[in-house]
Amino acid sequence: MRHVWSILCSRALIDQNRKISLIEVLDAVDIPVHESEKPPEDLKLKLDGSIQLVTSWYRSELKTPETGESRNILVSPGGHKQPIGEAVVDLEDTTLANTVLGKCPPLEFHGFGLYNFQIQKRDHPGNGRWITSAKIPLQIRGVGKKPG
């Protein structure tokens, strides 16, 4: 199977005609902090769990049915890895493509900066090695607020 696209959003819907609606597409999350404050280095704040990772896959060969495995890993700016989820991608029968709506668990905060969702697939279903197909960035920013 081959990765076509992935995107982060607050909510996604697929109707009976396979039309996809993406609501509140995300490329950054702002965390309010006082302008004079810096969060401690060991802060492990759980971010809101209302993020969906939407990923679209196609058959490797359009005429050949297949089933694949995918997984998503969040990598922090410092390299900490958090597993986000795994899925079996069914591209059998008449399905040439499949879009997976993955609900993210609360994300662990490991400092401000650029996080990356690694979209991975197995090179051989069942026991192959994981290969990164894409990296989807999400910037976590501290946004100053006035005390009070």
Mean pLDDT by 10 residues, the chain (148 residues): 95 90 92 66 60 93 92 95 93 85 86 94 86 96 70
pLDDT computed for residue 104 by the predictor: 87
For 4-21, the pLDDT digits (tens) are: 999 999 999 999 888 999
What separation in angstroms does the CA of 12 have from each of 28, 51, 75, 86, 95? Answer: 17, 10, 23, 18, 20
Cβ 57 vs Cβ 44: under 8 Å:
no
pLDDT tens digits along 17-43: 889 999 999 999 887 776 566 665 555
Helix ranges restricted to H, the chain: none
Q: Give the model's pLDDT for residue 111.
A: 83
Which of 72, 93, 91 shows the shortest CA–CA distance to 83?
Answer: 72
Output the six-digit token pair for 98: 């499949």
127, β-bridge pairs:
none
Q: Specify the pLDDT at position 134.
A: 97
Cα distance between residue 142 and residue 38, in whole Å: 9
